[in-house]
Chains A and B, each alone.
Chain A
Amino acid sequence: MTNKELIKGLQELKKLEVGGRPQAGWVLSSRQILMSQLNPKATVSDEAKNQSFYYWRYFSGTFRQRVFQPVGAFLLIIFALLTYNATVSVASASLPGDMLYPIKTAGEKVQLALTFNDESKVKLQMNFVSRRADEMQLIAIQENDNNRKSKKIVQTAKKITQDNKSLKDSLGKISMAANKPAVLEVAKEVDIKSLEIKQNIATVQNSLPEAVKSEVKDEVKEAIVTTEAVGTSALGVIVDNYKTGRANISGQEVASRVAERIKSTEDDIKSASNEVNDVISVVSGTAPSVISTSTSAIKLVDVAGSSTTSTLQNIVQKPQQAKEIIEEAKNLLGQKDFSSALEKIQQSKDIVVNVVSNAQNIVNEIKEVQSINTSTENLLLINSNKTGSQPTTTSLTTGESTKEILIKR
Chain B
Amino acid sequence: MNNPLSKRILFLQVKDQDSEAYGKFYDLYVERIYRFVFFKVNSVSDAQDLTSEVFLKVWQYLKEGKEIKNLNAFIYLIARNSVIDFYRQRNRQAETLAETGQLPEVPDETQDLLKRQIVGSDLENVLQGLNGLKDEYKEIIILRFLDELSIAEIAEILDKSKGSVRVLLHRALTALKNNVKEHH
A residues engaging B (CB < 8 A)? Answer: 1, 3, 6-7, 9-14, 16-23, 26-27, 30-31, 33-35, 37-41, 44, 48-49, 51, 54-55, 57-58
Contacts and interface: CB of A to CB of B under 8 A. Distances in A.
B110 to A, nearest CB: 9
A26 B38 CA distance: 14
Contact of B126 (A6, A26, A27, A51): A6
Contact of B123 (A9, A33, A54): A9
A326 B24 CA distance: 95
A58 B12 CA distance: 8
A10 B142 CA distance: 8
B26 A41 contact: no
A40 B38 CA distance: 29
14 contacts: A1-B181, A10-B126, A10-B130, A12-B123, A13-B130, A18-B117, A22-B31, A30-B51, A31-B23, A38-B22, A40-B19, A41-B16, A41-B63, A58-B12
Contact of A54 (B9, B44, B47, B141): B9
Contacts of A22: 30-31, 34-35, 38, 47-48, 51
Nearest to B170: A3
B177 A1 contact: yes
Interface of B: 5, 8-9, 12-13, 16-20, 22-23, 26-27, 30-31, 34-36, 38-39, 44, 47-48, 51-52, 55-56, 59, 63, 111, 114-115, 117-118, 122-123, 125-127, 130, 141-142, 145-146, 173, 176-177, 180-181, 184
Contacts of A40: 17-19
B12 A10 contact: no
B114 A18 contact: yes
A285 B44 CA distance: 115
B123 to A, nearest CB: 6
Contacts of B36: 20
Nearest to B117: A18
A44 B30 contact: no
